[in-house]
Amino acid sequence: MRKIIAGNFKMNMATAAERKWYVSLFRREFKNKKFGEVDIILCPPSVCLEYFAGNIKNKKVFFGAQNVFMEREGAYTGEISALMVKESGGSCAIVGHSERRRLFSETNETANLKIKTILKNQMIPIYCFGESRSERDANLTKKVITEQIQKGLTGVSSIGVERVIFAYEPIWSVGTDVIPAANEIMEVKILVRKILTELYSSKAAQSVKILYGGSVNSRTVGRVCVDPAMDGALVGRESLNPREFLKIAEIIDKN
Ligand code: PGA
């Protein structure tokens, strides 16, 4: 089954020199690896999406934004639309990342509008969900995730849902080097498939890709992606180094 490894650069790669370094190292490392059934998605800051998409050309490598606004165009100062991302060479967009929820007041409702806009543009949403440390401690993981999935998908058709990539990102694991146990991740994967079966069908539930994200590196990837049989990973910090990022991709691909 095809695996997906997505890199979320966040607000990094600020200088032209860094971007140039990344592209040349990525191209070199990529050429040296023999990838099988794997798609790589790079999500740089939107201002340099076109640069990355224009300089890394491979049918296994796709590009995406870290966020989009829900409208097509108009008086929305500071925002970018899915169409703009598409016109810059992107085919995906991350939605509902915990940093957007925490710092920019994103909710399940805004994530839902964004997912629908992205699908309408024939693009792929990468929908992030996951519980906080306090929710986990209060035994609310299941409840929180169920709500995130249900609300995030309101009004999304059964054809649409099959194009959504789901990314389980426990907030307490993002950027912390603390990771859940494989069985905890597996439980969430089973929960998501159960919710999707109830909302749609078992066919839809089985066909969607569910990634894990949160402190993934070449040492943790076995435990958080391979052991719980995830469909891939959403990688933050380690995606900033093409050598490490492609090493993670290789481990996922080979297992
Ligand atoms: P991290 O970030 O890999 O640096 O923990 C993951 C993410 O935010 O998607």
- Residues with Cβ < 8 Å from 47, sequence gap 6 or more? none
CB 226 within 8 A of CB 216: no
Along the chain (255 residues), what's the average pLDDT of each consecutive run of 10 residues?
95 97 97 93 98 96 98 97 98 98 97 98 98 97 98 97 98 97 97 98 97 98 97 98 98 94
Maximum Cα interatomic distance, the chain, rounded to a whole number of Å? 49
> In 3-state terms, what secondary structure has residue 128?
strand
**29 is annotated as an active-site residue:** no
- Name the amino acid, one letter, at 212: Y
3-state secondary structure 195-230: HHHHHCCHHHHHHCEEEEECCCCCCCHHHHHHCCCC
> 214 to each of 50, 149, 205, 217, how far by Cα in Å?
27, 18, 23, 9
Task: Measure 18 CA to ligand 1 centroid, in angstroms.
Answer: 20
**Annotated catalytic residue, options 29, 106, 162, 169:** 169
If phi over 0 gives left and psi between -120 and 50 gives alpha, with beta otherwise, what is residue 243? alpha
Angle between helices 182-199 and 141-152 (to 10 degrees): 40
Compute how many other C-beta atoms are within 10 angstroms of the C-beta atom of residue 150: 14
Q: What pLDDT, on the 0 to 100 scale, is given for residue 14?
A: 96
> Is 130's C-beta closer than 6 angstroms to any atom of ligand 1?
no
> Is 45's C-beta closer than 6 angstroms to any atom of ligand 1?
no
Task: Measure 212 CA to ligand 1 centroid, in angstroms.
Answer: 10
- Name the amino acid, one letter, at 142: K
Q: What pLDDT, on the 0 to 100 scale, is given for residue 201?
A: 97
pTM higher than 0.75, yes or no? Answer: yes
Task: Label the pairing between strands 92-95 and 61-65.
Answer: parallel
Strand partners, 210: 166
Q: What pLDDT, on the 0 to 100 scale, is given for residue 1?
A: 76
3-state secondary structure 29-81: HHHCCCCCCEEEEEECCHHHHHHHHHHCCCCCEEEEECCCECCCCCCCCCCCE
DSSP annotation of 88 reads: T
> Is 213's C-beta closer than 6 angstroms to any atom of ligand 1?
yes
